[in-house]
Chains A and B, each alone.
Chain A
Amino acid sequence: MLELSGINAFYGQSHVLHDISLRLADGAGVAVVGLNGMGKSTLLKSIMGAGPTVRGPVRLDGQDLDRLAPHRRARLGLALVPEDRRIYPHLTVAENLALAGHAGTAARPPYTVEEVLAFFPLLRRLAGRKGFQLSGGEQQLAAVARAVLARPRFLLLDEPTEGLAPLIVDAMGTEIRALRARDGMGLLLAEQNVEFARACTEHVLVLNVGSIAFSGSWAAFDADPAIRDRHLSL
Chain B
Amino acid sequence: MLSEVLPTALNGLVWAMSVFLVASGLTLIFGILHILNFSHGGFVMIGAYLAFTVTNRVPGTASVAAFLGIAVACAVAVGAMGLVVDRVVFRRLKGVDDSYSLVATYALLLLCEGAVKSGWGGNFLSMSPPEGLGGALFVGDLFVPSYALFVIAAGVAVYLALDLWLHRTASGRILKSVALDPWMASLLGINVTAIFTVAVVAGFALAGLAGGLLAPNQSLSPALGGTYIIQAFGVIIVGGIGNVRGAFLAAVLLGLVDAFGTVYVPEFPGIFFFVAVAVIILFRPQGLLSGIR
Binding site for B on A (CB under 8 A): 48, 50-51, 69-71, 74-75, 79-80, 82, 86, 88-91, 95, 99-104, 146, 150
Contact = CB atoms under 8 A, between A and B. Distances in A.
Interface centre among B184, B189, B192, by most A CB within 10 Å? B189
Contacts of A51: 183
Given A99-B185, A102-B189, 12 more contacts: A50-B186, A69-B186, A70-B187, A74-B187, A80-B187, A88-B184, A89-B180, A90-B177, A91-B173, A99-B174, A103-B188, A104-B189
B245 interface: no
24 contacts: A50-B186, A69-B192, A69-B193, A70-B183, A71-B185, A71-B192, A74-B187, A79-B187, A80-B187, A86-B181, A86-B183, A88-B180, A88-B184, A90-B176, A90-B177, A90-B180, A99-B174, A100-B189, A101-B189, A102-B190, A103-B188, A104-B189, A150-B188, A150-B189
- Nearest 4 A/B pairs, CB to CB: A103-B189, A102-B189, A74-B189, A86-B184
A18 to B, nearest CB: 25
B191 interface: yes
A134 B177 CA distance: 17
B179 to A, nearest CB: 10
A95 B173 contact: yes
A82 B187 contact: yes
Nearest to B191: A71
Interface of B: 173-174, 176-177, 180-181, 183-193
A49 to B, nearest CB: 9
Contacts of B180: 88-90
A222 B79 CA distance: 63
Given A86-B181, A88-B181, A70 B176 contact: no
Contacts of A69: 186, 191-193
Contact of B189 (A50, A75, A82, A89): A75
A45 to B, nearest CB: 9
